Amino acid sequence: MKSSLAHGILFVIILIFSGGQTYGFQSSLLFSDKEPLELELITSLNELRNSKSDTVFFSTVLKYKNEMGQWDSLQIELRARGNTRRKICHFPPIRIKIKKSNSKNTLFAEDKSLKLVLPCQLANSFNGFIVKEYMCYKFYESITPYHFQTRLVNLTLTDVKDRKSKTHNLVAFIIEDDDKVAKRFQYKISDAKVIRPNYINDTSAVRQDFFAFMIGNTDWSNTGQHNVKVMADKNKNHIPLPYDFDMAGFVGTPYAIPYDYLPIKSVQERLYRGLCRDKDLVEYVRMEYIQLEPEIKETIDQYEEYLSASDFKTARNFLHEFFDIIKNDKLFKNQILSKCLPNNY
């Protein structure tokens, strides 16, 4: 165990790696309330799925319960987003766009662009998958200030098809726009087509690598900004913002399979995909996660009511296994330290 002086020196190094800054912010009205948001939406899922253009939006009215608990409404535009889910799911993920003139003096005044994440299919079990994916975002909130704000949604969705309509009651969640996150930290979302992994801020990278390992996620890449947005400041400091965790082992969707070039057969198998970093830094982040164990486990306990008893037990055991690994020196060495990718990757 390192001395307290060594830990103090290491903390200074971490601050340097992090740019020496910490940030506080005031949540927008939409995200400041932690209770699930009540929404009603009418649209044509066929139109959304079949539209091939990411620039074509469809107009509709969004009904919502405001902060006073009263129903209100505003005009919005939406389109389908995503790749895999857009192709295979009954309910595609949705991008919502709101004009400033329509959102003035409403719950959405500070959020002109949002993502709405829906269950993939009609079965009740898919509501559970959505809640577990939502929990991944909440875990990441505990790990780093560089994260997306999210809010759980109770959604009444009416699908209009051939003059007929069908209404579904779904669990969903909304995600703030990536440009808004970047602006909060005085960064911009990088538009680079390729970002070398070792250009990412060391501390943020290791935290992200541990997080991906914790939830059993291998469906991401900083290099191509696949399921990751990368923020950059004027000094070319890069910070990752991971999202879309439906392929993670913790979530356990039935369509989640690892890429065939990876040495695992199931997303339930963890695989560390981080670069080999300074050992002191890796150890520091390891200690951070160990200290966060009660908070992260408390997060999953908060959403127990949304899951079946067996699903909740499986999800909690999956997290337990991660902490068993990082608290055991031998397991930590075998599954993380010896699996890191060469720094010339």
Given this model, what pLDDT does residue 133 score? Answer: 98
Q: Is the pLDDT of residue 79 over 70?
A: yes
d(CA 127, CA 81): 19
- Tell me the pLDDT tens digit for each residue of 47-56: 999 888 888 9
Q: Can you give the pLDDT at residue 55?
A: 87
In this prediction, residue 53 carries a pLDDT of 84
Per-residue tokens: 99: 């004009």
pLDDT, position 301: 97
Which pLDDT score, from 0 to 100, does residue 67 have? 87
Residues whose CB falls within 8 Å of the CB of residue 118, separated by 6 or more in sequence, listed in order: 89, 91, 92, 93, 94, 130, 155, 157, 170, 172
Residue 97 has what pLDDT?
97
Q: Are 37 and 152 contacting, i.e. CB atoms less than 8 angstroms apart?
A: yes
Which pairing describes strands 238-242 and 188-189: parallel, antiparallel, or unpaired?
Answer: unpaired
pLDDT of 201? 95
Nearest Cα neighbor of 122 from 156, 95, 91 is 91
pLDDT band at 7 (very low <50, low <70, confident <90, very high): very low
Residue 227 is predicted with a pLDDT of 96
In the predicted model, is pLDDT for residue 324 greater than 60?
yes
Q: Per the structure block, which two tokens stand in for 37?
A: 């948001």
pLDDT at residue 345 in the model:
58
The confidence score (pLDDT) of residue 86 equals 87
337: exposed, middle or buried (C-beta count within 10 Å: 0-12, 13-18, 19+)? middle
CA–CA separation, 200 and 92 (whole Å): 31
Which is higher by pLDDT, 175 or 13?
175
